[in-house]
A and B are shown apart, each in its own frame.
Chain A
Amino acid sequence: MTVAEPIPFEARLSLRIPLVSAKVQAGFPSPADDHMEKSLDLNEHLVRNPAATFFVKVEGDSMRDAGILSGDILVVDRSLTPKDSQIVVAMLDGDFTVKRLRQRDGRVFLEAENVAFAPIEISENQELVIWGIVTYVIHQPR
Chain B
Amino acid sequence: MNFALVDCNNFYASCERVFNPSLIGRPLVILSNNDGCVIARSEEAKQLGIKMGAPAFKNEAFFRQHGVAVLSSNYALYGDMSARVMAAMRPVVSAMEVYSIDEAFLALDAAHGEDFAREIRARVRQWTGIPVSVGIAPTKTLAKLANRLAKKTPERQGVLDFTRVTDSDAVLSMVPCSDIWGIGNRFSTRLSPMGIHTARDLKYAEMANVRKALGVIGERLARELGGVSCLTLEEIPSDKKGIASAKSFGHPVETLQELEEALATYTARVGEKLRAARLLAGHLSVFVETNRFSATQPQYHAGAQTTFLKPTNQTSVLIAAALDLLRSIYRVGYQYKKTGLFVTAMSPEGAVQLSLFEDRVDKPAGRPLAAIVDQLNRKLGANTIRYASMGTRDTWAMRQNRRSRKFTTRWSELPVAKA
Residues of A within 8 A of B (CB): 2-10, 12, 38-39, 41, 49-52, 54-63, 68, 70, 73-74, 78-79, 89, 91, 94-99, 112, 129, 131
* Residues of B contacting A78 in the complex (Cβ-Cβ under 8 angstroms): 126-129
The stretch from B38-46, B230-238, B409-417 touching chain A is: B409-417
Contact of A54 among B302, B320, B415 (CB under 8 A): B415
In the docked arrangement, what's the CA distance between A70 and B309, Å? Answer: 34
Contact of A7 among B307, B363, B418 (CB under 8 A): B307
* Residues of B contacting A94 in the complex (Cβ-Cβ under 8 angstroms): 21-22
In the docked arrangement, what's the CA distance between A35 and B309, Å? Answer: 45
Nearest-neighbour CB distance to chain B for A18, whole angstroms, equals 11
Nearest neighbor of A63 in chain B, beta-carbon distance: B419
Q: Taking A4-B306, A7-B306, A97-B417 as contacts, is the C-beta distance between A51 and B88 under 8 angstroms?
A: yes
The stretch from B148-156, B170-178, B244-252, B328-336 touching chain A is: B328-336
Nearest neighbor of A39 in chain B, beta-carbon distance: B332
Nearest neighbor of A88 in chain B, beta-carbon distance: B417
The stretch from B79-87, B108-116, B214-222, B371-379 touching chain A is: B79-87
Q: Taking A58-B419, A97-B417 as contacts, is the C-beta distance between A4 and B307 under 8 angstroms?
A: yes
In the docked arrangement, what's the CA distance between A55 and B329, Å? Answer: 19
Q: Taking A2-B359, A4-B309, A9-B304 as contacts, is the C-beta distance between A96 and B416 under 8 angstroms?
A: yes
* Residues of B contacting A89 in the complex (Cβ-Cβ under 8 angstroms): 417
| Contact between chains at A6 and B324 (CB < 8 Å) | yes
In the docked arrangement, what's the CA distance between A93 and B157, Å? Answer: 26
Give 4 nearest A-B pairs by CB, closest first: A51-B87, A52-B127, A60-B419, A7-B409
* Residues of B contacting A3 in the complex (Cβ-Cβ under 8 angstroms): 306, 308-309, 317, 320-321, 324
Nearest neighbor of A3 in chain B, beta-carbon distance: B321
Nearest neighbor of A68 in chain B, beta-carbon distance: B419
Nearest neighbor of B415 in chain A, beta-carbon distance: A56
In the docked arrangement, what's the CA distance between A38 and B410, Å? Answer: 27
- B275 contacts partner chain A, Cβ-Cβ < 8 Å: no
Q: Taking A7-B304, A56-B417, A57-B415 as contacts, is the C-beta distance between A12 and B127 under 8 angstroms?
A: no
21 A–B pairs (Cβ distance < 8 Å), ordered by A:
A2-B308, A2-B309, A2-B310, A3-B306, A3-B320, A6-B304, A7-B307, A8-B302, A9-B83, A9-B303, A9-B304, A12-B328, A38-B332, A50-B302, A51-B88, A52-B126, A56-B416, A58-B416, A59-B416, A62-B419, A79-B127
Contact of B329 among A4, A8, A68 (CB under 8 A): A8
| Contact between chains at B84 and A57 (CB < 8 Å) | no
- B9 contacts partner chain A, Cβ-Cβ < 8 Å: no
In the docked arrangement, what's the CA distance between A129 and B19, Å? Answer: 13
- B325 contacts partner chain A, Cβ-Cβ < 8 Å: yes
- Give chain B's interface secondary structure class: mixed
* Residues of B contacting A55 in the complex (Cβ-Cβ under 8 angstroms): 408, 411, 414
- List B84-107 residues whose CB lies under 8 Å from chain A: 84, 87-88
* Residues of A contacting B409 in the complex (Cβ-Cβ under 8 angstroms): 7-9
* Residues of B contacting A58 in the complex (Cβ-Cβ under 8 angstroms): 416-417, 419
* Residues of A contacting B416 in the complex (Cβ-Cβ under 8 angstroms): 56-59, 96
Nearest neighbor of A94 in chain B, beta-carbon distance: B22
Nearest-neighbour CB distance to chain A for B8, whole angstroms, equals 14
In the docked arrangement, what's the CA distance between A98 and B414, Å? Answer: 14
For this complex, into which size category does the number of interface residues on chain B fall?
A: 35 or more
Nearest-neighbour CB distance to chain A for B410, whole angstroms, equals 8
In the docked arrangement, what's the CA distance between A131 and B307, Å? Answer: 27
| Contact between chains at B418 and A95 (CB < 8 Å) | yes
| Contact between chains at B333 and A38 (CB < 8 Å) | yes
* Residues of A contacting B83 in the complex (Cβ-Cβ under 8 angstroms): 9, 51
- List B361-391 residues whose CB lies under 8 Å from chain A: 363
Q: Taking A8-B304, A50-B302, A52-B88 as contacts, is the C-beta distance between A96 and B310 under 8 angstroms?
A: no
Nearest-neighbour CB distance to chain A for B18, whole angstroms, equals 8
In the docked arrangement, what's the CA distance between A129 and B21, Å? Answer: 10
Nearest neighbor of A90 in chain B, beta-carbon distance: B417
Extra contacts besides A52-B126, A74-B417, A95-B418 (13): CB < 8 Å? A2-B308, A2-B309, A4-B306, A6-B321, A8-B328, A9-B408, A10-B302, A10-B304, A12-B328, A38-B331, A56-B417, A97-B417, A112-B419
| Contact between chains at B363 and A2 (CB < 8 Å) | yes
* Residues of B contacting A70 in the complex (Cβ-Cβ under 8 angstroms): 419
* Residues of A contacting B415 in the complex (Cβ-Cβ under 8 angstroms): 54, 56-57, 96
In the docked arrangement, what's the CA distance between A80 and B211, Å? Answer: 52
Nearest-neighbour CB distance to chain A for B93, whole angstroms, equals 14
- B292 contacts partner chain A, Cβ-Cβ < 8 Å: no
- B209 contacts partner chain A, Cβ-Cβ < 8 Å: no
- B355 contacts partner chain A, Cβ-Cβ < 8 Å: yes
Nearest-neighbour CB distance to chain B for A72, whole angstroms, equals 9
- B72 contacts partner chain A, Cβ-Cβ < 8 Å: no
* Residues of A contacting B411 in the complex (Cβ-Cβ under 8 angstroms): 55
| Contact between chains at B312 and A2 (CB < 8 Å) | yes
| Contact between chains at A50 and B312 (CB < 8 Å) | no
Nearest-neighbour CB distance to chain A for B267, whole angstroms, equals 13
